[in-house]
Chain A
C-alpha cells in the first residue's frame, strides 16, 4: 500500500466538506459531505483550487489569460470564441509543475494499490466553486472524462477540466453575471469508475403512491442506464423506511442489460443469459443496505430524493454498494401538501367519520 498523500494540492473525499467548498468545488465538497453522513460514494480525491492557482502562477499564465479576456464584446460571438481558444490552448499546452504532477500521481497510485486494481480506470470531473450559485449549473463547467487509466492521461484530463473554465459559454456567463474571471477557481475530482454488477435507481418514497414511509428500489444487471432509460422492466423492491424490512419484491424478466465497453468508452446493450433473466438482481442484504443509505441521504438533504446507485464488483462483497448520484425528487415533492383527513376536534368525530366511510372491498 502506498503512503497516504498529504499536500495542499490534494484532499481525499473523506477530508472534504462544505467548509472546504472554495478549495474543492461544489461537487467534491458534496461527495465529502455524503461520506461524512455515512453514505458510500466511489473513492477518490479532489485536486484543490490551490493546484489550479499554483499552475497558473508558476507557468506565468495569469497575465496573458486575464489580459486577453479584458474588455470582451459579448455581441461579437466570433471574438469570444477566439479568446476562449487562445486561453484554453495556453492552459492545455503548459506543463504542470512537478510538485503537482507528483502529488496527483501518488494519489492515483495510492488509490489503485489500496483497492489492488492495477490500471484501475477513474473518472476525472471538474468541480467548480461557483457551481452552486443559482443558475450557474449550465455554465459549461461540467467536464467529465470516463475510463481514464494512466498518470499521463489523468494529468491531461485535469488540464482539460481546468481549461473548461474558459469555454465561450462560461466566459459569457461570467461577464453577464459580473463575476470576475480571476476570482473563479476550479477544482477537479478523480474518482474510481464503478464496475457495475447491478445498478439502478432508488426513491425515498413510493413514486406510485407518494408514500414517504417506504423506499422503492429498481434494479437490473449491469449499469443503471437500462433502468433509467426503461429498456427493461427492472426488479422492484418496496422497503419499509422505518425498520428497513422488504415489504414487497417484484422480480421481473430482464432480457437485456447495459455494460460499458471500456476501450470505446461506450455503453453496449447485452442479452442477459437465460438462467439469470428471472433471478433477483440484487441480494436482500444489499437492498437493506441501500435503503439504509437512502434514509441517510434523505436525512442529509432534508427532503425526498431520487438516487442512482450501483454494486461495484471490484470491491469486496458485503460492502460494495455505492451511491453515484442523488437529487431531490420532483414529482410528489411539488404537490401541494394537504392533510390526509380533515382535522377534527376529537377522536370521537374521527371515529364516526371513519366508520361512515367504510373500507372499499
Chain B
C-alpha cells in the first residue's frame, strides 16, 4: 500500500512558519539525504487515537514524554528482540508515528537473551513490582500537588535575609516550573514501566488466539483477560455509593431538585442529614474526583473537581434510577461468569493438549499483566494530569498578571521550552526592575498561532504517509492502534468523502457485540450527557469513567477514537450494550436525531434516516 510522500505534504496557506510551534526534530526535512531517505522508507501513521485534534504547542509535552518512555523500554531497558522504539513527526499540527524495527538481524539473538532475563524478571515479580510502582506513582502525585505556585512579591520577605536563604522568589518560580515539568515527564516514565511488557504478553496471546481461531473477534480475547475489579471503576462506584446514601438519608428529592452545586450546598448544610451527605461527598473527592472528563491528554479536558456539577449530575442519574426501583450495581457476578464461560469454551475448542498448554501459559501471563494496562490510566492520565493542569494554570495566571499573555488559556500556544524562556524574561525583568519583552512579543505570536491552529483544524490529515511495511512487530502498534492494512483502508475511505452529510455508512472497531437501531445523540463532552434520553445511541469523541452514568440509558455507543481496550468498549461489554469505537468521524458524520443502526459485531454504523 502506498501513502503520500512525507516530504510532499503541502503547507496549508496562511500557516507558513508553523514549524516553530513544535520541537525542531519533529519535522520531516529534506536537507540531509540520509535522514530524508529514512523518512521516506518508513510507514508513518497519524495518531488520531490520541490526538483527534491538532496539537497545541504545550500539549505536545505528553507526546514527547511517551516518545521517550515507550521507546526506551523497547530499545534500551527490556530489549524487545525485534522492535526498537516508535519515532515521531508532526505535519500541519498532526502527529505521525512509526514503529522502528531492529535493522541488523545479527543482533537479535543477543537481544533475545537480554529480553528473556529482563522481561522475565518483571513477569515473575509482577505483583511486588506493581505494588512498588503504585507507591512511586503516589509519591509523584503528592509532590506535584505540593508545589506551591505564587506570583512574585514586590519585595522579598524579611525571612530571606534573617534565615540566610540566599535565593529569591524569581529563582523559586523557575525552579517550580522545572519541577512541575520534570514530575510530568517522570509520571510518564512510570506510565510505561509495565506497559510495554503488558502489551507484549497480550499481543502474543492475541496472536495465538487468532491463529487457533482466525475468526475470533479481538474483543473476545480482551474479555478473557480483563480484570473485573479494576480501579478505573472506583470513581463511578463512589458516585453510586453517594446516590444510595442520598436515598438512605431521605435526601433524594432534595438533591434531585436542589439546583447547581452552589445552590444545593447551603440547603444541605441546613439539616443534619444534609451535612452528613455533604461530608461523604467531600470525602470521596480525593482522589476519586480527579477524573478527567476527556482522555486527560489535552489541557481542555477538565476534571470533576473543576466542575463538581459533573459528578453531581451523574449522582442524580443514579438517584433517578434507584427511585424508579432500578439497580445501579455493576453485574459483577455476571461479568465474571461470562468471562469464565467464554474462556472455558474457547479452550475446549482447541484441538490439541499442546495448544491447551500454550493457551493456559499465555492467558495466565496476560491476566497478570492486564489489570495494570487498565489501571495505569487512573494514576497518570486522570489523577496526575488533573493536578498538573491545575498547577500549569497557576503558572499561566502569573504570566497573565505580567501581561505576557492575555488569558490563562493562552499559555497552551507556547511550548514548554518557550514558557521557560518567557519565565526567565519575566523574572529577570522583575529582578532588574525593567520591562520584560514578553508582553510585546507573545500576545502577537499567540494571535498568529491561534489562526494557524484554526486552519489546521479545517484540514483533513492523510491517515498515513510513506511506505507500508510487510510486518509489524511493535506490540503497541498492533494492539493499541490496531494498525492493519484494513484499518488504514477504512480510515482512508471515510476521509475521502468530502461532504459528510451524504455519508450513509461508517466503519470502526467492533468494541462490544450486538445490533441495535435507534436515534442518535451526539454528546461532545460529558457535560452534555444529561440530555441523553432512554434508548438513544450515544455518539461521542471518546468516553472516560466520568461518562459512566450515560451507559445506564443508552442502547449503543459510537466513538471517534479508541480501540477494543478503550473505556467505552470495556463498559459497553459490561452493560451488554453494543459499541463501535475508533470510527474517526462519528461525531462529524452523525447528527443528533439521525436514525442509525449499530452493529457492534462487525463495526459498521449505518445512517438509515437523517
Using a CB–CB cutoff of 8 Å, the interface residues on chain A facing chain B are 206, 209-214, 238, 240-243, 245-249, 284, 337-344, 346-361
Q: Does B349 count as interface, using CB distance less than 8 angstroms? A: yes
Interchain nearest-CB distance for A283 vs B (Å): 12
Q: Which residue of A lies closest to B342 (CB)?
A: A242
Name B119-143 residues within 8 Å CB distance of A.
Answer: 119-120, 123
Please measure, in the bound complex, the distance between the C-alpha atom of A249 and the C-alpha atom of B597, giving whole angstroms. Answer: 15
In the complex, are the beta carbons of B602 and A358 less than 8 A apart? no
Interchain nearest-CB distance for B298 vs A (Å): 30
Q: Which residue of B lies closest to A352 (CB)?
A: B112
In the complex, are the beta carbons of B515 and A284 less than 8 A apart? yes
Interchain nearest-CB distance for A237 vs B (Å): 11
Q: Does B233 count as interface, using CB distance less than 8 angstroms? A: no
User: Which of chain A's residues have a CB closer than 8 A to the CB of B362?
Assistant: 347, 350-351
Q: Does B484 count as interface, using CB distance less than 8 angstroms? A: yes
In the complex, are the beta carbons of B515 and A240 less than 8 A apart? no
Q: Which residue of A lies closest to B203 (CB)?
A: A354
Sample of 20 A–B contacts (CB below 8 Å): A210-B214, A213-B212, A213-B213, A214-B213, A240-B216, A242-B346, A247-B217, A337-B352, A340-B350, A344-B358, A348-B123, A350-B204, A354-B203, A354-B204, A355-B83, A356-B112, A358-B82, A359-B203, A361-B43, A361-B471
User: Which of chain A's residues have a CB closer than 8 A to the CB of B566?
Assistant: none
User: Which of chain B's residues have a CB closer than 8 A to the CB of A350?
Assistant: 204, 208, 358, 361-362
Contact of A358 among B208, B341, B473, B514 (CB under 8 A): B473
In the complex, are the beta carbons of B470 and A339 less than 8 A apart? no
Please measure, in the bound complex, the distance between the C-alpha atom of A343 and the C-alpha atom of B123, giving whole angstroms. Answer: 19
In the complex, are the beta carbons of A214 and B469 less than 8 A apart? no
Name B199-219 residues within 8 Å CB distance of A.
Answer: 200-201, 203-204, 207-208, 211-217
Name B180-239 residues within 8 Å CB distance of A.
Answer: 200-201, 203-204, 207-208, 211-217, 220
Contact of B213 among A211, A343, A344, A355 (CB under 8 A): A211
Please measure, in the bound complex, the distance between the C-alpha atom of A106 and the C-alpha atom of B110, giving whole angstroms. Answer: 83
Name B332-352 residues within 8 Å CB distance of A.
Answer: 341-342, 345-346, 349-352
Asked whether A339 and B349 contact (CB < 8 A) given A355-B82, A358-B472, the answer is no
Interchain nearest-CB distance for B197 vs A (Å): 9
In the complex, are the beta carbons of B357 and A354 less than 8 A apart? no
Contact of B358 among A240, A249, A343 (CB under 8 A): A343
User: Which of chain A's residues have a CB closer than 8 A to the CB of B445?
Assistant: none
Please measure, in the bound complex, the distance between the C-alpha atom of A350 and the C-alpha atom of B123, giving whole angstroms. Answer: 13
User: Which of chain A's residues have a CB closer than 8 A to the CB of B201?
Assistant: 347, 351
Asked whether A356 and B81 contact (CB < 8 A) given A245-B601, A341-B355, the answer is yes
Please measure, in the bound complex, the distance between the C-alpha atom of A128 and the C-alpha atom of B208, giving whole angstroms. Answer: 47
Please measure, in the bound complex, the distance between the C-alpha atom of A351 and the C-alpha atom of B115, giving whole angstroms. Answer: 10
Q: Which residue of A lies closest to B510 (CB)?
A: A247
Contact of A361 among B350, B355, B484, B601 (CB under 8 A): B484
Interchain nearest-CB distance for A158 vs B (Å): 44
Please measure, in the bound complex, the distance between the C-alpha atom of A350 and the C-alpha atom of B116, giving whole angstroms. Answer: 11
Q: Which residue of B lies closest to A247 (CB)?
A: B601
Q: Does B364 count as interface, using CB distance less than 8 angstroms? A: yes
In the complex, are the beta carbons of B355 and A339 less than 8 A apart? yes
Q: Which residue of A lies closest to B207 (CB)?
A: A354
User: Which of chain B's residues have a CB closer than 8 A to the CB of A359?
Assistant: 203, 207, 471-473, 478, 484
Interchain nearest-CB distance for B342 vs A (Å): 5
In the complex, are the beta carbons of A206 and B361 less than 8 A apart? no
Q: Which residue of A lies closest to B360 (CB)?
A: A347
Contact of B82 among A209, A243, A245, A356 (CB under 8 A): A356
Q: Does B584 count as interface, using CB distance less than 8 angstroms? A: no
Q: Does B511 count as interface, using CB distance less than 8 angstroms? A: no
Of B201, B215, B478, most buried by chain A (CB within 10 Å of CB) is: B215
In the complex, are the beta carbons of A351 and B358 less than 8 A apart? no
Please measure, in the bound complex, the distance between the C-alpha atom of A361 and the C-alpha atom of B98, giving whole angstroms. Answer: 13
User: Which of chain B's residues have a CB closer than 8 A to the CB of A351?
Assistant: 119, 200-201, 204, 362, 365
Please measure, in the bound complex, the distance between the C-alpha atom of A248 and the C-alpha atom of B217, giving whole angstroms. Answer: 10
Asked whether A340 and B211 contact (CB < 8 A) given A243-B513, A358-B471, the answer is yes
User: Which of chain B's residues have a CB closer than 8 A to the CB of A246?
Assistant: 515, 599, 601-602
In the complex, are the beta carbons of B214 and A355 less than 8 A apart? no
Please measure, in the bound complex, the distance between the C-alpha atom of A240 and the C-alpha atom of B346, giving whole angstroms. Answer: 11
Please measure, in the bound complex, the distance between the C-alpha atom of A51 and the C-alpha atom of B383, giving whole angstroms. Answer: 82
User: Which of chain B's residues have a CB closer than 8 A to the CB of A346?
Assistant: 361
Please measure, in the bound complex, the distance between the C-alpha atom of A340 and the C-alpha atom of B349, giving whole angstroms. Answer: 12
Q: Which residue of A lies closest to B485 (CB)?
A: A361
Name B1-15 residues within 8 Å CB distance of A.
Answer: 1
Please measure, in the bound complex, the distance between the C-alpha atom of A134 and the C-alpha atom of B287, giving whole angstroms. Answer: 73
Please measure, in the bound complex, the distance between the C-alpha atom of A354 and the C-alpha atom of B365, giving whole angstroms. Answer: 14
Asked whether A347 and B364 contact (CB < 8 A) given A242-B346, A355-B83, the answer is yes
Name B372-424 residues within 8 Å CB distance of A.
Answer: none
Please measure, in the bound complex, the distance between the C-alpha atom of A173 and the C-alpha atom of B65, giving whole angstroms. Answer: 82
Please measure, in the bound complex, the distance between the C-alpha atom of A211 and the C-alpha atom of B215, giving whole angstroms. Answer: 7
User: Which of chain A's residues have a CB closer than 8 A to the CB of B207?
Assistant: 354, 357, 359
